[in-house]
């Protein structure tokens, strides 16, 4: 199918996610949560990672189903039951998505030493465009405050991106036997 390939060409991967990918264990297993059209799934797969791409609508990554390094999973990430119980990953990547009831479930998805790379919109975005609903906008320091008690924060930033968008991002590592010290 060319529709998925055509969609991903219009939205390049985040430069930040591309940089973070260099810190993930070589050949590791990565979750692209709420993968959308798969811009990060494609980037990570091309770099040799085994990627599990999850979204409620997987039509944007249908062309990747034949890629041996990609597993496409159609799942409702906002259901009461968490569809990823028992799964573990060397990294979890989340961009432009926020569903607070399952935020801390991301910690349990990481192996010891695993990385969480999360970047999405924050309060103040209303002045620039969508999303405007506060349910989908992070509060001041929310990612840091949510994950710092559970993960080692390697990087945290709140900023106005170009084109104008208010963003917040965190890179954090799960503490464990490998990362203790």
* DSSP E strand boundaries for 34-79: 50-55, 70-74
Sheet holding 29-33, edge to edge: 70-74, 50-55, 29-33, 89-95, 110-121, 165-174, 151-161
Segment 155-180 shows an average pLDDT of: 87
Find the farthest-apart pair of alpha carbons in the chain and give their distance in angstroms, rounded: 48
C-alpha 6/C-alpha 63 separation (Å) is: 10
Q: Is the pLDDT of residue 106 over 70?
A: yes
How much is the pLDDT for 7? 42
Convert the pLDDT of each residue in 32-51 to its tens digit: 999 999 999 999 999 999 99
What are the Cα distances from residue 166, in Å, to 20, 158, 160? 20, 8, 5
Q: What is the pTM of this model?
A: 0.91
Q: What is the DSSP letter of 138?
A: B
Q: Quick check: 106 and 116 in contact, CB under 8 A?
A: yes
Instruction: Give the containing element (helix H, strand E) for 181.
Output: none
Indicate whether 139 pLDDT > 50.
yes
Lowest mean pLDDT of 1-10, 11-20, 123-132, name the range: 1-10
Judge contact between 91 and 137, C-beta under 8 A.
no
């Amino acid at each position: 199918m060319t529709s998925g390939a055509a969609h991903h060409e219009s939205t390049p991967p985040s430069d930040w996610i591309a940089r973070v990918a260099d810190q993930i264990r070589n050949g590791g297993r990565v979750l692209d949560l709420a993968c959308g059209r798969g811009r990060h799934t494609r980037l990570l797969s091309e770099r040799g990672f085994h990627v599990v791409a999850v979204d409620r609508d997987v039509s944007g990554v249908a062309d990747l189903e034949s890629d041996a390094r990609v597993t496409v999973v159609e799942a409702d990430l906002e259901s009461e039951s968490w569809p990823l119980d028992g799964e573990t990953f060397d990294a979890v990547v989340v961009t432009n998505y926020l569903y607070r009831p399952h935020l801390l479930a991301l910690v349990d998805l990481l192996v010891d030493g695993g990385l969480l790379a999360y970047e999405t919109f924050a309060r103040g975005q209303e002045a620039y465009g969508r999303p405007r609903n506060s349910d989908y906008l992070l509060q001041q320091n929310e990612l840091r405050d949510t994950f710092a008690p559970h993960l080692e924060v390697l990087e945290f930033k709140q900023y106005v991106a170009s084109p104008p968008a208010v963003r917040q991002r965190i890179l954090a590592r799960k503490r464990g036997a490998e990362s203790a010290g």
